[in-house]
Amino acid sequence: MNRCTIQAVAIGCILWGAPTPVWCKGEKPPAAPILTLEQAVDLAMQNNRPLKTATLEVEKAEDTTDAARTRRFPALNILGISGSRLSESKFEFNRGAFGTFPGIGPVPGANTEIKEPTRWSTFVLASAIQPLTPLLRINEGIRLNEVTEQVAQEQRREQLHAVVNQVKRGYFQAQQIQTALEATDEAIKSLQELDRIVQEQVTQRKALRADSLEVKTRLAEATHRAVTLDSDLASQKERLNDLLGREVRSEFSLEPVSIISTSHLDAETQGAPLCSRFIRDRCPCTGGQYWSGASYSDLGGRFSPQLGSLRLGSKAA
């Protein structure tokens, strides 16, 4: 029994310290749904909070106008009272309590007792009042309420245009940041490849270490720019979600910006490596070859890496 327990504990420790198995790894989270500009405008028109407030103000003005119109009609009032005494009423009058008169004698002529038993009583009062002289004042109030209603409608229309404008501006700004982020990512990939090539040249003593450090500096700047743009994109999406009346952390993807067609470029340029294309476009003096058949010292130049460009300059002794 003890041996089985020790084996179980050992297996548990191994499983606890082992890497996460394949079957325990969750699947990749699904991509966020693409939110088009038309969908964003529709959501804002339905769920935007200031726009909803303006719509409620219009409905409130309409109800106030309808209520003012009802004052021109007769006012009907019905009042009903129903009830019963808790105990019976009893009145006693002694003989002659109201006096003695000639010819009839004392009133009452004998001791009298009057009783009123308890019973249920109901009273109903109905009235109909038609305003005549106040009609002028009522009509003026109705016209005033109608003007107020029109003002509320125009304010809602203004709010609607403002919300649509803000949504479009926010969406285009988010697209601009996303495009800049994608361009920065491509620049980072280019700089990483350039850093690898320059590092090889430094190892082969065909380039200076200062050139490698300059490339690394530009790579770090591009990385920092990418982080900043990613933060700006997240903030812009939160502001856009707030305009749409949704949870600010709701995930969505922007509609990709149309890419300019490059079909007019020749197949050789399309298939050439990234750095070779940079050298061919930026360094015509090399004839499209990366120091082919000549060393760095033979060229007598200085290699100055730039963000997405290579430059060679000749020196005369």
In a domain, 78, yes or no: no
- For 175-199, what is the mean pLDDT? 94
- The enclosing domain of 148 has a CATH number of 1.20.1600.10
Q: What is the pLDDT of residue 154?
A: 96
In a domain, 120, yes or no: no
Lowest mean pLDDT among 15-29, 74-88, 93-107, 297-311: 297-311
Give the Cα separation of 56 and 43 in Å (integer). 18
In a domain, 156, yes or no: yes
Please check whether residues 43 and 175 belong to one and the same domain. yes
CB-based contact 305:194 (threshold 8 Å): yes
In a domain, 43, yes or no: yes
Domain that holds residue 289: 272-317
Please check whether residues 147 and 239 belong to one and the same domain. yes
Q: What is the pLDDT of residue 297?
A: 36
Nearby residues of 225 by Cβ (< 8 Å), 6 or more positions away: 184
* Cross-strand bridge partners of residue 304: 311
In a domain, 76, yes or no: no
Please check whether residues 247 and 302 belong to one and the same domain. no
Please check whether residues 252 and 280 belong to one and the same domain. no
Q: What is the pLDDT of residue 91?
A: 82
- For 150-173, what is the mean pLDDT? 95
Alpha helix locations (H) across the chain? 2-17, 37-47, 49-69, 135-203, 209-243, 267-271, 274-282, 296-299
**Would you say residue 16 has pLDDT above 90?**
no
Please check whether residues 65 and 148 belong to one and the same domain. yes
Give the Cα separation of 222 and 191 in Å (integer). 9
Per the confidence metrics, is the pTM higher than 0.85?
no
In a domain, 297, yes or no: yes
* pLDDT tens string 17-62: 444 443 344 454 567 889 999 999 999 999 999 999 999 999 999 9
Give the Cα separation of 167 and 243 in Å (integer). 7
Which residue matches tokens 């990749």?
Answer: 28
CB-based contact 174:231 (threshold 8 Å): no
**Would you say residue 217 has pLDDT above 90?**
yes
Please check whether residues 218 and 145 belong to one and the same domain. yes
**Which value, to the nearest 10 degrees, does the dihedral of the CA atoms of residues 260, 263, 264, 267 take?**
130
Task: Indicate the number of domains in the chain.
Answer: 2
Please check whether residues 287 and 231 belong to one and the same domain. no
CA 222 → CA 194, 211, 212, 308, distances in Å? 13, 17, 15, 11
Q: What is the pLDDT of residue 9?
A: 45
pLDDT mean across residues, the chain? 77
Please check whether residues 169 and 203 belong to one and the same domain. yes
Please check whether residues 210 and 297 belong to one and the same domain. no
* pLDDT tens string 111-158: 888 888 888 889 899 999 888 888 999 999 999 999 999 999 999 999
Please check whether residues 152 and 43 belong to one and the same domain. yes
Please check whether residues 192 and 249 belong to one and the same domain. yes
Please check whether residues 307 and 198 belong to one and the same domain. no
In a domain, 42, yes or no: yes
Share of the chain above pLDDT 90, in %: 47
Q: How far is CA 222 from the centre of its chain?
A: 30
Which of 258, 285, 303 is the C-terminal boundary of a domain? 258
CB-based contact 77:126 (threshold 8 Å): yes
* pLDDT tens string 197-213: 999 999 998 889 898 89
In a domain, 234, yes or no: yes
Q: What is the pLDDT of residue 15?
A: 43
